Structure 1
Amino acid sequence: MQNQTKGIIYACVTAFFWGFLAIALKVAVQEIEPITIVWFRFFIAFVILLGWQLYRSPSSLKILIKPPFLLVLAAIALSWNYLGFMLGINYTTPSNAQLFIQFGPLTLALAGFLIFKEKLSRRQMIGFFVALAGFAFFYRDQLLAFFDGKEQYNLGVLFTLSGALAWAAYATMQKKLVTVHPGQMLNLFLFGFPAVIYLPFINLAPVLQLHWTWWLLILFLGANTFIAYSSLAQALKFIEANKVSVIIFLNPIITFITMGILTSLEVSWISHERFSLTTILGAVLVISGAFLVVRKRKARRIK
């Protein structure tokens, strides 16, 4: 199999798992506290990766003892990204959180312009304005026509946006770190650090009383974290980052379609969502604008 094909497959795996992640989190938060869910995601992913690295590369564990300062900052940012996204889902809906978390890649593109001195093309500038217009359409429609609790919705959006900004900070630092250290070695600390700092705040007593089917959901969330981030690292190894970004932007589409189907089926185990034409227009504008921002122009062939 060619590297290009491998990279596309790995990126699609990441998009697939992230597409269903928000829905699974919304179901889990019905019985488990948000911070406890976040801890389980990091802890399970860390245990899986630790076992893998012990088998493949025991020397990589040294990063747990003496991590670079920049990696500690990246881990703090990723810790809040997970919790901010989780709280956003708790106070709004999976589709809302998935859309507003796209502010992260947009911010990362802006950071590339300001920090890494990358050129910002006219197409990217248009993409920013298109995405911002989409956020405005989506936010106004959902706020006015769907949610009874205005403060709760606003709080959820703020938590999600803060998580998106934290992700952009993490990704900016990760971009520098990955040039020096292997991706899985970095992930070992990035998963382990939050599992330690969130430990004093979790409440396991209610979780231990849950039916075993809820534990399957918890295991899925942890495995989702490990598989998605491992696949992302592999995708970046085989194909360009801009191609990976474009494929990953499929994940909110997966969430929207799935939630639309669940809403039409009127299932009882997850809150229904409202999809008006304005909502759909806003979502399309956000995803299209973000696509314009992250997609790089193909280099011209020299004849």
Structure 2
Amino acid sequence: MLQHQPTGRRFLGLALASCAVVQWGTQPIVLKILVQSLDVFTLAWMRFLATAVLLFPLAIRRGGLAALLRLRGRQLLLLAVAVFALLSNYLTYMAGLAYVTPGTAQMVNQLAPMLMLLGSLWIYREPFGRLQWVGLAVLVVGLGLFFSPRFDELTSASHGLATGVALGVLSAVLWAVYLLSQKQLLNILRPELVLLAVYLTGAIAVFPLAHLPAYAQLNRLHLLLLAVTSLMTFLSYMSYANSIVHLEASRVGLVISLNPLVALLMAALFASLLPGLMQPESLTWPSAAGAVCVVAGSMLGALGSAGVGRESGTAYREERGDG
């Protein structure tokens, strides 16, 4: 199987990957502020609509829409699964942010790439290397350390933390389902076509549930943040998609693994700039050590998947959902 060869412009690839991870680290902070003023469906509708409009010119080039219309049977079902999974990922992730901090949401979200790799082992019979098993173990230990100071809250069904984490885990599972279905769809569709189907379907499906008058009640800051999050949904995809043109996917994966730490840093920055809207993440030493372990586990998983890709002669592209 012919594999994509990066251009070798590593500095450009690294810059684009860094741009993507900064946007993905900033996104949950902006969403956390907005979910205090907008319900999930109203917030999601604007994001879906704006991204669909921005993606449309890219998707229609070289007869892209015709490729979507030609889908039949199993291929169409696979696209439907991908659309449902990613839309549900967005909604559950934003719903979870009403209960937990952005940093916590990003920590839980690191389960998604590992779940995708395990799903590839089960569904596609792809190898799961020793380094990946080590990465999974380190990630699980890291999550345990991160939540250890709040274990009582986590095990209490009546506490908001338990609800937020449960929604975060569900969001990660849905993202993994999307990635697994996308692995097959990329054999017949360009990534922007899959995403256009997702966002266009989302904009249509969520419209009846969106409370449009709520937009008129937002102040200037919230309107600015709404525009920023809508634009970042598109730009982060473009940054990531172009980064793997110039840099090996494994190296991009290592940069993306820093996402939770970037989210913690951005939360601290927003808390200092907007103290009335955002509270800084309160980390104990076990929580901080857990965050480092979660990132380290994700990095080991990325390195392990690179080795598996070389051995099996296959490669996959990971498109990001929320977080």
TM-score (norm 1): 0.89
The answer on whether the counterparts of 2:99 and 2:163 sit within 8 Å (CA) in structure 1 is yes
- CA drift of 1:243 comes to 2.4
In structure 2, the residue matched to 1:62 is: 66
Is residue 29 of structure 2 the alignment partner of residue 23 of structure 1?
yes
Q: Which residue of 2 aligns with 1:110?
A: 118
> CA contact under 8 A between 1:84 and 1:160: conserved in structure 2?
yes
Q: Does 1:256 align with 2:256?
A: no
Rounded Cα–Cα distance in structure 1 between residues aligned with 2:144 and 2:292: 12
Distance 1:261 1:238, change over 3 A: closer
Structure 1 residue 234: deviation in Å? 2.3
Cα 1:262–1:230 change in 2 (3 A) is closer
Given that 2:267 and 2:278 are in contact with CA atoms closer than 8 Å, whether structure 1 keeps it comes out as: no
- Would you say the 8 A contact 1:266–1:272 is kept in 2? no
The residue identity in structure 1 corresponding to 2:183 is K
Q: Which runs of structure 2 are paired with 1:104-143 in the superposition (5 Å)?
A: 104-143=112-151
Equivalent residue number for residue 189 of structure 2: 181
Structure 1 counterpart of 2:108: 100
Distance (whole Å) between structure 2 residues aligned to residue 150 and residue 266 of structure 1: 30
Q: 155-164 or 31-40, which moves further after superposition? A: 31-40
C-alpha distance 63-89 of structure 1, shift in aligned 2 (>3 A): farther
Amino acid at match of 2:40: P
TM-superposed deviation, 1:189? 0.9
Asked whether the equivalents of residues 109 and 294 of structure 1 are also in contact (C-alpha less than 8 Å), the reply is: no
Residue matched to 2:317:
none
Change (3 A) 1:179 1:248: same
Q: Which residue of 2 aligns with 1:244?
A: 252
Counterparts in 2 of 1:139-158, with a 5 A limit? 139-144=147-152, 151-158=159-166
1:210 — aligned with what?
Answer: 218
Instruction: From 20, 23, 27, give the equivalent of 1:14.
Output: 20
Could you report, residue by residue, the CA deviation over 1:169-197 in whole angstroms, capped at 9, with x for unpaired residues?
Answer: 10111111112222222221121111111
* 1:77-126 Cα distance to aligned partner (Å, 9 max, x none): 00011111111111111110011011101111212222232222222212
Are the equivalent residues in 1 in contact too, given 2:131–2:303 (CA < 8 A)?
no
CA contact (8 A) 2:13 2:243 kept: yes
Query: How many Å apart are 1:74 and its aligned residue?
Result: 0.3
User: Structure 1: how far apart are the matches of 2:67 and 2:204?
Assistant: 15
Deviates more, 1:152-161 or 1:231-240: 231-240
Equivalent in 226, 231, 235 of residue 239 of structure 2: 231
Distance (Å, rounded) in 2 between the aligned partners of 1:130 and 1:39: 37
- With over 3 angstroms needed to count, the CA separation of the structure-2 counterparts of 1:58 and 1:217, relative to structure 1, is farther
How many Å separate the matches in 2 of 1:112 and 1:240? 20
User: Is the 2:8–2:246 contact (alpha carbons within 8 Å) kept by the matching residues of 1?
Assistant: no
Which consecutive residues of structure 2, in runs of 5 or more, have no partner in the other structure? 1-6, 312-323
Superposition map of 1:12-91 within 5 A: 12-53=18-59, 57=61, 59-63=63-67, 65=69, 67=71, 68-91=76-99
Contact 1:92–1:153 (8 Å) recurs in 2: yes
CA distance in 1, matches of 2:54, 2:116: 29
Distance 1:98 1:17 in 2: 13
Distance in 2 between the 1:111 and 1:52 partners?
30
CA distance in 2 between partners of 1:137 and 1:148 (Å): 18
What letter is aligned with 2:52?
F
1:129-159 deviation line (CA, Å, top 9, x unaligned): 1111111121232345899995211010010
Report percent identity of matched pairs.
27
Letter of the structure 2 residue corresponding to residue 48 of structure 1: L
Q: Which moved more, 1:98-107 or 1:251-260?
A: 251-260
Structure 1 CA distance, aligned partners of 2:133 and 2:268?
A: 31
Aligned-CA RMSD value? 2.6
Provide the aligned length of Structure 1 versus Structure 2: 298
Question: Counterpart of 2:124 in structure 1: which amino acid?
Answer: F
Q: Deviations over 1:47-83 (max 9, x none)?
A: 11124445xx172233564553211210100001111
Query: Which ranges of structure 1 fall in alignment gaps of 5 or more residues?
Result: none
User: Partners of 1:163 and 1:42 in 2: how far apart?
Assistant: 17
Q: Which range is displaced more, 136-145 or 36-45?
A: 136-145
After superposition, the Cα gap between the structure-2 partners of 1:105 and 1:34, relative to the gap in structure 1 and judged at 3 Å, is same
Aligned to 1:284: 292
8 Å contact from structure 1 (residues 64, 188) kept in 2: no
Helix, strand or coil: the match of 1:90?
coil
SS at structure 1 position matched to 2:224? helix
